[in-house]
Amino acid sequence: MYERWEELEQAVSCCKKCRLCENRINTVFGTGNKEAKVMFIGEGPGADEDKLGEPFVGKAGKLMNMAFEGIGIKRQEVYIANIVKCRPPSNRNPQDDEAKACMDYLRNQVIFVKPKIIVLLGSVALKNILGKEYNITASRGKWVEKNGIFYLPTWHPAALLRDETKKIDFWKDLKNAKEKMELL
Ligand code: URA
Ligand code: SF4
């Protein structure tokens, strides 16, 4: 547990706690408002994120930005991070030991930001944060309150690229998160 953002960022930037350090170009720490009411958690960096060191800057990120814009969420007002900070090879899912190795960093980010709402983007985020017993299809769009934080599981934006019909759910969930944010 680090006391300051700079220490945490520094630790991530040179981390070798799991095998994902071997092929990364950049670590992808996270970005946004460090006092955000809402935090978004994805899975892990893809090729574009690995190149730029920023989360959700590729195709899925552009789609997420469009949803943000449509709903009136500013990307700079929320905080965005991932389960793992280094890109898994060929964009495979992070393995359990990799997610576990990286989880202290995310926990530290959550402690610093103190979000009231956490939007879980897809199955990997859902299972690693709330537990393996959760299933994204069954949990999507349903609030889960735990230790004073409201969690909202939704589709991963990359899933919207594969299945257009999921966009409606995603938009609905983001709207729901925004409305709740304004009440808290
Ligand atoms: N997918 C993710 O889960 N995270 C990113 O940062 C980009 C794509
Ligand atoms: Fe460290 Fe996380 Fe990268 Fe693994 S994925 S090397 S734990 S920063």
Query: Coil, helix or strand for 149?
Result: strand
The total number of residues written for the chain in this structure: 184
CA of 50 relative to ligand 2 center, distance in Å = 13
The chain-wide mean pLDDT, for the chain, equals 97
Burial of residue 158 (number of CB atoms within 10 Å: 0-12, 13-18, 19+): buried
The whole-model pTM stands at 0.97
User: Distance from first CA to last CA of the chain, Å, rounded?
Assistant: 27
CA of 93 relative to ligand 1 center, distance in Å = 11
Model confidence over 69-101: pLDDT tens digits? 999 999 999 999 999 999 999 999 999 999 999
Residue nearest to atom 3 of ligand 2 (CA): 86
Which one of 24, 51, 56 would you pick to mutate in the ligand 1 pocket, going by the greatest count of ligand atoms within 8 A of its CB?
56
Q: Nearest to residue 87, comparing CAs of 73, 67, 68, 102?
A: 102
Count Cα atoms within 13 angstroms, Cβ side, for 45: 25
Q: Nearest to residue 20, comparing CAs of 46, 54, 59?
A: 46
CA of 26 relative to ligand 1 center, distance in Å = 14
Model confidence over 39-64: pLDDT tens digits? 999 999 999 999 999 999 999 999 99
Phi and psi dihedrals of 156, rounded to 5?
-70, 135
For residue 65, name the pLDDT band (cuts at 50, 70, 90): very high
State which amino acid sits at residue 109.
Answer: Q
Q: In 103-180, at which residue ranges do the beta strands (DSSP E only) sit?
A: 117-121, 144-146, 149-154
Sketch out the chain's domains with CATH numbers.
5-183 (3.40.470.10)
Q: What is the DSSP letter of 156?
A: -
Phi and psi dihedrals of 15, rounded to 5?
-70, 140
